[in-house]
Amino acid sequence: MTTPDATLSSPPLVLASASPRRRELLAYLGVPFRIIATDAEEHEHDPPAEIVAALPPLALPLFDHPTLRAWRKAHAACASAPDSVIIGADTIVALEGTVLNKPVDPDDARRMLRRLAGKTHTVYTGLAVIDARRADASPLLDLVASQVSIAPLSDADIDAYVATGEPLDKAGAYGIQGLGGRLVHAVTGSYTCVVGLPLVETYRILSAAGIRGLRDPVEGYRRWLRDQGKETPSCPSTLP
């Protein structure tokens, strides 16, 4: 539990993401923050060599690296929050070496879901934290991977889900925390990584950046589940 004294020495915190899911999850760590959203993750300009060298290893194209995308978001927010610690996050879905981004239309969503049906894919969430108060400080970078198994799906199952509209703004064309959770057979690893903000690693990286008064991530995860009206995820229980 956060106490009034716990955050006195803690710098202001900024979430560099427009995702309502990340905003919701970060709130369960119990510290105040504000949001600065940018479209920086879509930029293709070359990142600094020292950032590329510091990225966690990932056998995907550099542009798709979610930790690089997270760093782009956090870096772009620095000018608007020079007194703050800034966290960026980005999530991708990868199947057999191919990244499945947000579908462009319902037909694209159907194609993605047919590819995912009956298979196990990987969800990666990259994290980047920048202390904008210190120009000489190196960013803190992390990458979390979870394995997600999708149940076999009929065309009718896919059509019914796409008709809800939920897949259209989700990487991989499904949202595990929503109706898409019914399609998931199992998760190995962090459940909140699949949602978009792995709470355990977020707690660790923010603590290392000097954010104080953070709630235990397991407790935050349990509160989040309870507030959604479920004691366990809609798939077998897994890590926060």
DSSP symbol at 169: G
Reduced to 3 states, what is the DSSP secondary structure of residue 74? helix
- Using CA atoms, how far apart are residues 10 and 96, in angstroms rounded to an integer? 42
- Using CA atoms, how far apart are residues 134 and 168, in angstroms rounded to an integer? 39
216 is an active site residue: no
Q: What are phi and psi of 191, to 5 degrees?
A: -65, -40
- Using CA atoms, how far apart are residues 50 and 71, in angstroms rounded to an integer? 12
Contacting residues for 192 by C-beta, under 8 A, at least 6 apart: 25, 198, 199, 200, 221, 224, 240
- The one catalytic residue in 39, 90, 108, 131 is 90
Paired tokens of 187: 């998760």
Cβ-contact 128, 73 below 8 angstroms: yes
Q: Which residue has the tokens 């159907």?
A: 110
Residues labelled as active-site residues: 90
